Amino acid sequence: MGKFLLLSAVLIAMLSSVRAQQPDSTEPAKAEDTTTPTKTFKKETASSLTVEAKLCTSVVDRKAQGEAIKFGSEVGQVYLWCRVNGATDTTHVEHLWYYKGEEKASIKLPVKAASWRTWSKKTIMPHWTGQWEVKIVDADWHVLKTIAFTVE
**90-137 per-position pLDDT tens digit:** 999 999 999 999 999 999 999 999 999 999 999 999 999 999 999 999
Burial class (CB in 10 A: 0-12, 13-18, 19+), 106: middle
Given a contact cutoff of 8 angstroms between Cβ atoms, the answer to whether 79 and 67 are in contact is no
116 phi and psi angles, rounded to 5 deg: -135, 130
**33-72 per-position pLDDT tens digit:** 444 445 676 665 568 899 999 999 999 999 999 999 999 9
- Whole-angstrom distance, CA of residue 79 vs CA of residue 57: 6
